[in-house]
Amino acid sequence: MQLYILRKKNSIALISGILIATAFINKWTVGNIDIFTWLLVIASVIGAAPIAIQAYQALKVKVVSIDVLVTIAVAGAFVIQNFEESAIVTFLFLFGAYLEQRTLNKTRSAIKELTEMAPESALKQMEDGEFVEVEVEEVDVGDVLLVKTGAKIPVDGTVLSGEGSINEASITGESIPVKKEKGSFVYAGTILDNGTIQIVADRVGEDTTFGKIIELVEEAQDSKSEAERFIDRFSKYYTPAVLVLSFIIWLISKDIELAITILVLGCPGALVIGVPVSNVAGIGNGARHGVLLKGSEVISDFSRVDTMIFDKTGTLTLGNPSVAEKEYYGDNIKEVLGYLASIERESDHLLAKAILEEIGETKFSPVEDTKVVKGGGIVATLEGHRIAVGNVALMERENVKLSEKAKASIDRFEKKGNSLVLTSVDGELKVLMGVRDQVRPGIKEDLRRLKKLGVKNLIMLSGDNQGTVDLVGRELGLTEAYGNMLPEDKSAYVKKLIEKEGKIVAFIGDGVNDSPSLALANIGIAMGSGTDVAIETSDVVLMNSDFSKLPHALGLTKAIARNMKQNIVIAVGVVLILLAGVLFSEWVNMSIGMLVHEGSILVVILNGMRLLRYRLR
């Protein structure tokens, strides 16, 4: 019975409203006071039923909720036979709850839109070569799928054949179609605007980028910030305090109407709901614009960041370097390039890909006794030769003698902003390559926006040589730029800024070697196309590695923090004004108190909902 009444709460509010309206129409037209009174009594009783049930359920778990205060207030109004007040208060409370639920649902619209974008079926290639429609849960890694125009991409995968334009708004927040062809990577949940493609499934189900986005946003929206936890603790003691206060006022004044009016006015509804609605709306906005904020706690810290530290490759630069300059020394260079390619093809590093692309087709040799030298490069044995591939520090470690010509070339390459890759065979330098990356388009404007948003220090830490780092630092107008940094050097620098200099630090990176720094920083921000480790360790993810989303993310968290403060001021201010009104004037009664109380809840919800439309100017 209790469950049935609670399910019909909105219908009860409607019936209660009709009864109250009929009662007043009767009073103003027919003037029959008995009908007027009985209609209000019935409206009060049916309106109080769901409120009383919720109050009973709260008391069972030893919580003095708003429903308890309203139930006692309505019972008090009955005792003094003020049926007009009791009917209006119950109706306003139920109607307010209905409006709150409707408006709150809108703040969750972003996550609802995301879940509705989730693909449900896929055209899977069967053993006979035919494509059959199956549930997306039946797709495994390695399956070949057909995607037609207008269909959703069911999994993360690689295009095997065909080409087309894909709307990736569900991942990046940008609706401009992206051209895809053989070898291109596609995301689950995105839509093929035109063309037909076949893809091979690389990630399925919850492991897809889209699946992780939904999981992260749901977790974030359910998390609680420090402010929310404080308000929860506050309301736990505040609500019983209001009950005690109204009882003391009744004992002193013997005015039960004043006491029950205090109960209604003291309800902390707007205060309890004001902070969560700001967080939920803000996190939803971020999700729609390609920014994942992993929880409410992140918002507070991020909004106060004064120092941002960036990795270089893949963060400030495009992460798609190519060999810009090269020099060869000695004989048998073709054989040496084969050795170099054999070593580099076992690496996922961006520089390795650039070198393989430069060398092209060659003869590969078996690689033995591979040893990775942290911050230096790789040493391995190929066909009985000791091959070292890495930076100048590795060459010194391997006792490779550098000629004056080589030293001059190294100096020249560095000044032009190249990352150096040297190759030695049996202690003799054979190949010097300069690999250069391009800074991201529009990044200067993005960094300017960050400064305008209050970031005082923009710092770059890179494992690259100091010459390259200085060149990029000057070009982008960074505060500081440090090269030759090992992963432990980066994390030590982050730790020093936080612990010794009291900075609030955000670290932005995309690689495994960035994970310690991402974890140590007050806020770790990962580029979405970076490694899984970096994304898991971070607090914020910029989907599709779109650096231009960073100013939006920072501006959004500042707007959320402001919005929360506004909602707290509105909630506390309304309660204080109403209490002052009931104690020092005649205009505030129980009905007006409930009307203003419900109005204040709607105001804070609507104020929070403004964040759904937030865009950085």
Phi, psi at 561, each rounded to 5°? -60, -45
Structure token digits, residue 409: 């070339």
Cβ(245)–Cβ(262) under 8 Å?
yes
**Which of 67, 73, 38, 32 shows the shortest CA–CA distance to 53?**
67
Residue reference for tokens 């084969």: 338
Q: Taking the alpha carbons of 542, 543, 548, 553 in that order, is the dihedral positive or negative? A: negative
Q: 3-class DSSP state for residue 354?
A: helix
Q: What is the DSSP letter of 415?
A: H
Give the C-alpha separation, 477 to 475, whole Å: 6
Give the C-alpha separation, 375 to 585, whole Å: 75
**Contact residues for 59 (Cβ-Cβ < 8 A; gap 6+):** 68
Measure the CA angle with vertex 475, ends 471 and 481; round to 5°. 55
Q: How far is CA 344 from the centre of its chain?
A: 36
- E strand or H helix at 51: helix 33-60
What pairs with residue 278 in β-bridges? none
Structure token digits, residue 367: 């690689």
Give the C-alpha separation, 365 to 387, whole Å: 12
Phi, psi at 486, each rounded to 5°? -80, 160
Give the C-alpha separation, 358 to 129, whole Å: 38
Cβ(424)–Cβ(430) under 8 Å?
yes
> How buried is residue 462: exposed, middle or buried, by Cβ count under 10 Å (0-12/13-18/19+)?
buried
Q: Taking the alpha carbons of 127, 130, 133, 137 in that order, is the dihedral positive or negative? A: positive
Which CA distances in Å does 175 have to 2, 132, 192? 47, 30, 12
Give the C-alpha separation, 541 to 506, whole Å: 12
Give the C-alpha separation, 72 to 383, whole Å: 89
Give the C-alpha separation, 200 to 524, whole Å: 32
Assess whether 464 carries a catalytic annotation: no
Phi, psi at 46, each rounded to 5°? -70, -30
Catalytic entry in 311, 464, 470, 510: 311
Q: Within 10 A of 218 (CB to CB), how many other CB atoms are there? A: 15
- E strand or H helix at 419: strand 419-425
**What is the DSSP track for 276-315?**
HHHHHHHHHHHHHTTEEE--HHHHHHHHT--EEEE-IIII
Residues tagged active-site: 311
